[in-house]
Amino acid sequence: MAATLSLDTITSSGAGITIDATKTFTVNGTLLTTGSTNVLHKTGDYPIVTGDVASKSELIITTTTATPRDITLPLVSVTGADTCIITVVASDNATGTNSVRVMNGGSEAWTGYQKGDFVKFCVSDGGWVVLDHKETYYSRRYLTADQSIASSATAKLTGWTLVTEIGNAWDNVNDKLVTPTGMNGYWTVSFNNAAVSDASALSPNQYVAGVSVSDYAHGVSTIYGGSYGQNGITGCYYASATEAVEFYMVNCRSNSAHVARGTVLSSTNFIAQFNRVY
């Protein structure tokens, strides 16, 4: 016959309470085992299994990005999954198209590229939910060559030299940043124009999802003999999956073409960073 002990409080005069090693201890139907956190390091694709989460309050997986890497979440019905927080961390920087992906079934749930990128999941309402995350999508480029903009024209800038690219969002063929497939979020952009002449009438024009989100505030002064007005655009723009960020220039003058300066780092350039939202 099993003995039953009913208590409101258990205290100890020593360092803690010891349970015989041959016995088990269960709380709310869950068996407690040594340690509440499981830390694993993986160097290849890995599906999370029952033994990784059962009787654990947290599972942490660190993984390399030497090649594209997939870590797959368990089914929410797996023993222990619904009471275990799962964290996946990139332990080094990706190169090229490499990345760390967390898969939920056959679908991408998160992708990271840089050392320290991470995602944290828990089960809620019958499915995996992102509690916290950090992923790096960053692009910095400058205009490769000078580009002439016709009078009164709005023209897309083409031909950009790579400075830094993380996350592979840049479409080099079509000269645009593309919001990654299956993701929504905010592009923070700093777009800075430069000209070959101090009498330039060029002004930057930012496009998001095929629509201009800025207009020029630029003109030519008859008093001071030079141009004045807008010299750059900085903003944070929401974009849905596959929507693009593109860089245009407007020539405010109706009587002559003007040239956007390229060729060097300090010429016409942009910096952009994408922050994913769930």
Does 6 map to a domain?
Answer: no
Domain boundary (83, 113, 134) is at 134
Tokens 């068996």, residue located: 31
Look at the chain and count its residues.
278
Domain boundary (106, 134, 162) is at 134
| Judgement on whether residues 273 and 168 belong to the same structural domain of the protein | yes
pTM of the entire structure?
0.82
Does 20 map to a domain?
Answer: no
Q: Please report the pLDDT score of residue 74 as a whole number.
A: 98
| Judgement on whether residues 109 and 166 belong to the same structural domain of the protein | no
Q: What is the pLDDT of residues 16-69, one digit of tens each?
A: 666 666 666 665 555 555 558 999 999 999 999 999 999 999 999 999 988 899
- The whole domain housing 45 covers 29-134
Q: What is the pLDDT of residues 198-224, one digit of tens each?
A: 767 888 999 999 999 987 665 655 554
Tokens 């939920």, residue located: 104
Domain boundary (84, 105, 134) is at 134
Tokens of 223: 């008093």
Res. 104: pLDDT tops 70: yes
What CATH number is given to the structural domain containing 84? 2.60.120
Q: What is the pLDDT of residues 172-198, one digit of tens each?
A: 999 999 999 999 999 999 999 998 877
Q: What is the pLDDT of residues 221-236, one digit of tens each?
A: 555 455 555 678 999 9
| Judgement on whether residues 97 and 181 belong to the same structural domain of the protein | no
Cβ contact 262:268 at 8 Å: yes
Q: Please report the pLDDT score of residue 263 as a whole number.
A: 96
Beta-ladder partners of 45 = none
| Judgement on whether residues 141 and 272 belong to the same structural domain of the protein | yes
Cα 142 to Cα 193: distance, rounded to the nearest angstrom: 10
Does 7 map to a domain?
Answer: no
| Judgement on whether residues 120 and 196 belong to the same structural domain of the protein | no
Q: Please report the pLDDT score of residue 224 as a whole number.
A: 47
- Count the domains in the chain: 2
What CATH number is given to the structural domain containing 264? 2.60.120.40
| Judgement on whether residues 143 and 213 belong to the same structural domain of the protein | yes
Does 42 map to a domain?
Answer: yes
| Judgement on whether residues 100 and 150 belong to the same structural domain of the protein | no
| Judgement on whether residues 90 and 151 belong to the same structural domain of the protein | no
Tokens of 64: 């390399």
Q: Please report the pLDDT score of residue 86 as a whole number.
A: 98
| Judgement on whether residues 151 and 108 belong to the same structural domain of the protein | no
Q: What is the pLDDT of residues 122-160, one digit of tens each?
A: 999 999 999 999 999 999 999 999 999 999 899 999 999
